[in-house]
Amino acid sequence: MTKETPLDLLRAKGYKITPQRRAVLQAFASCPPFPTAQQLCEEVRKQQPDVSLDTIYRNLSLLTELDIVHEIFRSSGNVYELADATHHHHHLVCTECGHTECIDVCPMTDAYEQEAAKKGFAITGHIFEFYGLCQKCQQKLHKK
């Protein structure tokens, strides 16, 4: 029942703990929710001005592979969230401004797994996202 930290997991898999890697993980705490690679990079650069954006990308893709972070596709660049910190949830995304909030519901059931299995699919994950207009954007559009 010991909780494995991201760093433990990296070590366990034989990856090195570099200052850059530490910083990427920490950056999530001080970034807006669902940061882009860019935003994370800017955050990391406050501590380590010389990190390169590609290092951020490389680490994000490693962390995604290890399921330490989740990568969420957006038409205008992907965003990330720390996996372990958050319990399972889904998102409300404003189609105007991109503002994102979490919503504590999940429709996933065994029935879907079975439905998928009929087609030969083994489900490993799912996304359920709502698109709409946040309050601000509703007002803005109303005035026009």
Size of the site for a second copy (CB under 8 A): 34
Question: Would the annotation count 97 as a binding residue?
Answer: yes
Kindly tell me which of 1 and 105 has the beta carbon lying closer to a second copy. 105
Kindly tell me which of 8 and 113 has the beta carbon lying closer to DNA. 8
- Scored b (16 or more CB within 10 A) or e, 75-109 reads eeeebbbbeeeeeeebbebbeeebbbeeeeeeeee
Angle between helices 37-47 and 53-65 (to 10 degrees): 110
Positions that interact with DNA (CB under 7 A): 11, 14-21, 36-38, 48, 50-55, 57-59, 61-62, 75-78
Tokens of 99: 């503002």
Among 50, 88, 105, 143, the residue binding a second copy under the rule CB under 8 A is 105
Question: Would the annotation count 137 as a binding residue?
Answer: yes
Is residue 68 within 8 A of residue 22, CB to CB? The reply is no
| Beta carbon of residue 38, minimum distance to DNA (angstroms, whole number) | 6
| Beta carbon of residue 41, minimum distance to a second copy (angstroms, whole number) | 19
Q: What is the dihedral of CA 95, 99, 105, 107, to 10 degrees?
A: 30
Kindly tell me which of 16 and 142 has the beta carbon lying closer to DNA. 16
